[in-house]
Structure 1
Amino acid sequence: MPTQKQLQVSTGQYSDKGRKDGNQDFHGICLPREPQLSSKGVAVAIADGISSSEFGQVASQSAVRSLLEDYYCTSDAWSVKTAVERVLTAANSWLYSQTQQGQGRYDKDRGHVCTLSALVLKSTTAHIFHVGDCRIYQVQGQALEQLTQDHRVRMSSAESYLGRALGISGRLEIDYRTFSIAPGDTFILATDGVYEHVSPEFMLGAMARHQDDLDTASKLIAAEAFRAGSADNLTVQIVRVDQLPAAQAGDIQQQAAELPAPPLLEPRMVLDGYRIVREIHASSRSHIYLAVDEASGQSVALKTPSIDLQSDPAYRERFLMEEWIARRIHSVHVLKPCPATRPRQYLAVAMEYVEGQTLAQWMRDHPRPGLDAVRGLVSQIAKGLRAFHRLEMLHQDLRPENILIDATGTAKIIDFGAVRVAGLMDGAPGQGQEILGTAQYAAPEYFVGEEGTARSDLFSLAVLAYQMLTGQLPYGLEVAKTRTRAAQRKLSYAPLSETRRDVAGWVDEALRKALQAQPQERQADVAEFVHELHHPSPEYLKRRRPALMERHPVVFWKGVSLVLFLLLVGVLGVQAGGR
């Protein structure tokens, strides 16, 4: 079978102190091997320490090394933007703390301060991060297009200062942009000691003459800056895209294409070392069997694809993605995959076996549950969702059948076939927003073609909470029919008071807020929603101060008891006086 095409680039770089006593610039390029080449891409970074500080070189070196080392240690489920920004934010915090401990506390020009520009090429996309006045250019025909904007404030023709840099402030603001790339695209990264003294024509000429030796081209550009009178450090990096990866590259896609689908399984059959006991569940999308690992004796839930969808490449890929996702999430409230102890021969996934019932069955068994029971389950499901959200994943198919409750009452989220992983979407720009979840529980934004957010999963969680309390859906089946924002504004929420008068008004208010059609009107995240299920929100208290019995029931009943006691004493006193 032919080898999958991979991302290939040519690079060159050069740095020199120039006419200065030391070199406060720092630069680096990381060209990883697979699987990180596909999951993380190629990273290029250049930094320039401020010349007024003796710690400029320390700052620039620390910033570049932190980026190139720590970026590749972040979760491959994160988007490039999240991963790089978190790494740079951490680097900035360290630099700023060093600045505050030294003379930079009183004079930022003497602190651990540097500028930085970085380029990450992942799949068919370029990601640019920029703070300060290093520059990134892209070759456009016979010209250079500047892709970054200098964060330098000009006071006069002879005086200026940095408006933004690493180490200046505890808060870091990073410019970010992204765009598609093509073979032949070429990028130049340079510090101000170079670009202020070398013309675009010279840079283009040097790269054209030495296209097979970009290190030499970089050195010639730096030498030209020196010849033109530059008094600063001189650093140049050149990156050219030679080949882009195939549209579907990577281990999961390859396995999805190559692995044969298993046959319909019967008890006592053995598949990939798992002996089938019985079928647990069957649907139009998959079959799930209780099986025993013959090597360990452990019971597992073995999932195989539906026969009707076995030839669908997108379905096969999503099927294997479930295991990939599960291996990256660590939460007692998310179903775990079984350890991979032997090669896979068929398209099947082994997950932990949980003996219990689905939330759908639990609701049938508890048609009118107490508020505390509902809160407990919602809190557990929310913890599972937060484990997804911390890795920039959206579940997108939260429904009663996708929640398992074991014998101990522990709730677990299952079925990851609709999960959206931000880190994988970086390499697939322009994909349509297919609704993968179940319509009755999907957030309204999906039906107007918008991408989901953590607040979309929050909406689904709130639907579950509402259904547990009432046995109904908050909007019936109307949400899936609304294909415009105008139609969604007409959705009418049915208050809990219509069916559950025993539930406090502020709990209903928390649900109403989480079930708003507009995502920005909901709580910020699932944790805030869970908190508001247990405590009245400040907004609610401002609008309507609850009665004392609702706010402090113990105090209320103590007060009632005291009043009754005083009345009793009074009655007894009157009787005694009559005698």
Structure 2
Amino acid sequence: MPAQLQISVGQYSDKGRKVINQDFHGVLVPDGPLLGMKGIAVVLADGISSSAVSQVASESAVKSFLTDYYCTSETWSVKTSAQRVIAATNSWLHAQTRQSRFRYDPDKGYVCTFSAVVFKGNGAHLFHIGDARIYRISGASAEQLTEDHRVYVSPEQSYLGRGLGVNPQVEIDYLNCEIDRGDVFLLTTDGVHEFITPRFMAATVQNNADDLDRAARLLAEEAYGNGSDDNLTVQIVRIDALPQGSNADLPARISALPPAPLLEARMIFDGYRIVREIHASSRSHIYLAEDVESGDRVALKTPSIDLRDDADYLRRFMTEEWIARRIDSPHVLKPLPQSRRRSHLYVAMEYVDGQTLTQWMIDHPKPDLEEVRVIVEQIAAGLRAFHRKEMLHQDLRPQNILIDRTGTVKIIDFGSVRVAGVAELSRHGQDNDILGTVQYTAPEYFTGQGGSPQADQFSLGVIAYQMLTGHLPYGARLAQAKEKYRKSRLRYVSAAEHNPVIPVWVDRALQRAVNLDQAKRYESLSEFLFDLRHPNARYLDTRPVPLMARNPLLFWKCLSLLLALVIVLLLARLRGVGL
């Protein structure tokens, strides 16, 4: 089976009984890495009869999607990329109407329906606005996957309830479904599907499987023969092959090069003179080296000797460089430009002359609150660079944070990073393995819920707590709380118990950031940072928190016990009276 996604396409469009064809459609199958990372896009737009310029809107919508979608970040998910492109197109069309003579009559402006399918990996991502339709052919019938956004006033009168360009913002229907080899998707405008049956659609596609263009034309002709008075457009897409493996098209896939050997001081390796080993662990080896040509100092990271036969480990190792090259932040370690041919697997990174946050905490057992704030803010800036690209670090810990001699903080080690755009290449969407260090990992990972930006926030909160107190907010018991009942027994230990000088409002901010329930954490890192610097009025109230608010489960247990005791006493009293 080919290693890439392959499709067959049939298309047909005609003005029908109308003067002009206001429909527009297109398909784009990219070459190279874009095929794996962004997928194949199939788009259909239908102009509305009340507008004389709607065909311009349809053409613009289709062309802009097929162009701009492939310019979005490779790390973004299909959903994020497509929705941002569609939203931008909607804003442009709406602005065109507002600047035209139709500003007070938008139904005559730059408006159209919009439906698109992006096939990526083993999934189909559907985006829909209006009353065109997307079907999936299954057996002898066609299953409608989209909902018509049409409002019916009466059986004879209706109007389009949602369209592209109607309002400044647009609501986009989204559906994600798995695909298999042989699946057939059908996109039609209302001039077609309102005049033929789903059974006829399925039969026509099956009877003309060797010529999908003919099948599309026959569907349109049947609708025309049945009295359709609208434009006629049909697109048929058949899945002929799916990519092999979960991440077959990932640009950072395992190279054919062998893993780098153990390096020794003074040896020359691919144009670098090895100075000394900086760090060694079960996951990697890091060396300080000098570029022989320029004399610049660099850090060379090589795969672990013990794991060089582990394909999953090598995949993550090579993905690290791919990830780092897609993030531009002074607080994220940057890889060096690769100008020379490599003989082995390794990564050349910028060299940071400094220390890990682990060593910094040893050297500063009682840091000033402002020092902690400055470091936490820089870590958060690095995390936001990941989150903007729809990435989760998932292994934020003091050992993975470097502080140089100028005080600049950098996040390193991207072996556990989850990339939304890459995770879509897997049939299951994501790995359930816990790749981070358990003491800093959000509890939702242990219960199989997966990660979110709030999970990275949890790790940052634990680090901030540890910097201020030298302890962990839940001790070493967090990793054992894999079941809900065990997690409910965990209690946050006030930072003030370890460091009495910490203000109560800072303690409350830390408590919220590391809340075991991700829904109760801050919605964004900026909120957490703000509360670390500005006393939150809600956190200045030092009155004891009621038991019901602190621990609802314990409250109801105590209440139930109290009621049970009352009942027992009443029964005993009644029995005594009866005697």
Same-fold call, TM cutoff 0.5: yes
Q: Check the 8 A contact 1:462/1:515 in 2, yes or no.
A: yes
User: What is the rounded CA distance, in whole Å, between the counterparts of 2:537 and 2:179 in structure 1?
Assistant: 48
Q: Check the 8 A contact 1:29/1:43 in 2, yes or no.
A: yes
**Residue number in structure 2 paired with 1:502:** 501
Q: Check the 8 A contact 2:36/2:250 in 1, yes or no.
A: no
Going from structure 1 to structure 2, the CA distance change for 1:433 and 1:357 (only over 3 Å counts) comes to same
Write the deviation string for residues 201-225 of structure 1: whole angstroms up to 9, x where unpaired: 4333433343233222212221222
**Residue number in structure 1 paired with 2:557:** none
Q: 1:4, CA displacement in angstroms?
A: 5.7
- Using the aligned pairs only, state the percent identity: 58
**Residue number in structure 2 paired with 1:425:** 423
Q: 1:98, CA displacement in angstroms?
A: 2.4
- Give 3-state SS (helix, strand or coil) of 1:287's partner: strand
- Give 3-state SS (helix, strand or coil) of 2:382's partner: helix
User: What is the rounded CA distance, in whole Å, between the counterparts of 1:538 and 1:20 in structure 2?
Assistant: 65
User: What is the rounded CA distance, in whole Å, between the counterparts of 1:298 and 1:253 in structure 2?
Assistant: 26
User: What is the rounded CA distance, in whole Å, between the counterparts of 2:47 and 2:478 in structure 1?
Assistant: 55
User: What is the rounded CA distance, in whole Å, between the counterparts of 1:4 and 1:207 in structure 2?
Assistant: 24
Write the deviation string for residues 326-355 of structure 1: whole angstroms up to 9, x where unpaired: 000000000000101122221111111111
Write the deviation string for residues 98-148 of structure 1: whole angstroms up to 9, x where unpaired: 233345543331232211111010011111111111101111011111111
User: What is the rounded CA distance, in whole Å, between the counterparts of 1:485 and 1:162 in structure 2?
Assistant: 47
Q: 1:88, CA displacement in angstroms?
A: 0.8
- Give 3-state SS (helix, strand or coil) of 1:476's partner: coil
User: What is the rounded CA distance, in whole Å, between the counterparts of 2:25 and 2:276 in structure 1?
Assistant: 59
Q: Which moved more, 1:496-505 or 1:236-245?
A: 496-505
User: What is the rounded CA distance, in whole Å, between the counterparts of 2:447 and 2:202 in structure 1?
Assistant: 46
Q: Check the 8 A contact 1:323/1:349 in 2, yes or no.
A: yes
User: What is the rounded CA distance, in whole Å, between the counterparts of 1:367 and 1:113 in structure 2?
Assistant: 63
User: What is the rounded CA distance, in whole Å, between the counterparts of 1:141 and 1:424 in structure 2?
Assistant: 32
**Residue number in structure 1 paired with 2:489:** 490
Residue 310 (1) aligns with residue 308 (2): yes
State the Cα RMSD in Å: 1.7
Going from structure 1 to structure 2, the CA distance change for 1:95 and 1:134 (only over 3 Å counts) comes to same
Going from structure 1 to structure 2, the CA distance change for 1:501 and 1:103 (only over 3 Å counts) comes to farther
- Size of the aligned set, in residue pairs, is 541
Of 4, 9, 16, the residue aligned with 1:6 is: 4
Residue 284 (1) aligns with residue 306 (2): no
**Residue number in structure 2 paired with 1:548:** none
Going from structure 1 to structure 2, the CA distance change for 1:536 and 1:171 (only over 3 Å counts) comes to farther
Q: Check the 8 A contact 1:252/1:320 in 2, yes or no.
A: no
- Give 3-state SS (helix, strand or coil) of 2:506's partner: helix
Q: 1:252, CA displacement in angstroms?
A: 4.6
Write the deviation string for residues 151-197 of structure 1: whole angstroms up to 9, x where unpaired: 11111111112222111222221111111111111111000001111
Of 133, 136, 139, the residue aligned with 1:135 is: 133
User: What is the rounded CA distance, in whole Å, between the counterparts of 1:517 and 1:409 in structure 2?
Assistant: 31
**Residue number in structure 2 paired with 1:216:** 214
**Residue number in structure 1 paired with 2:448:** 449
- Give 3-state SS (helix, strand or coil) of 1:26's partner: strand
| Paired letter, 2:278 | I
**Residue number in structure 1 paired with 2:558:** none
User: What is the rounded CA distance, in whole Å, between the counterparts of 2:415 and 2:272 in structure 1?
Assistant: 22
**Residue number in structure 2 paired with 1:38:** 36
**Residue number in structure 2 paired with 1:249:** 248
| Paired letter, 2:225 | R
- Give 3-state SS (helix, strand or coil) of 2:306's partner: helix
**Residue number in structure 2 paired with 1:461:** 460
Structure 1 regions of 5+ residues with no counterpart? Answer: 546-579
Of 65, 84, 108, the residue aligned with 1:110 is: 108
Q: Check the 8 A contact 2:140/2:203 in 1, yes or no.
A: no
- Give 3-state SS (helix, strand or coil) of 1:466's partner: helix
Q: Check the 8 A contact 1:127/1:178 in 2, yes or no.
A: yes
Of 298, 301, 304, the residue aligned with 1:300 is: 298
Residue 55 (1) aligns with residue 53 (2): yes
Write the deviation string for residues 224-252 of structure 1: whole angstroms up to 9, x where unpaired: 22222111111111111111111142365
Write the deviation string for residues 228-287 of structure 1: whole angstroms up to 9, x where unpaired: 21111111111111111111423656534x221222111122333222111000001110
| Paired letter, 2:304 | S
User: What is the rounded CA distance, in whole Å, between the counterparts of 2:395 and 2:539 in structure 1?
Assistant: 30
TM-score by length of 2: 0.90
Structure 2 regions of 5+ residues with no counterpart? Answer: 544-579
Q: Check the 8 A contact 2:3/2:243 in 1, yes or no.
A: yes
**Residue number in structure 1 paired with 2:547:** none
- Give 3-state SS (helix, strand or coil) of 2:254's partner: helix
Q: 1:30, CA displacement in angstroms?
A: 0.4
Q: Which moved more, 1:95-104 or 1:259-268?
A: 95-104
Residue 91 (1) aligns with residue 94 (2): no
**Residue number in structure 2 paired with 1:386:** 384
Q: 1:397, CA displacement in angstroms?
A: 0.6
User: What is the rounded CA distance, in whole Å, between the counterparts of 1:296 and 1:46 in structure 2?
Assistant: 54
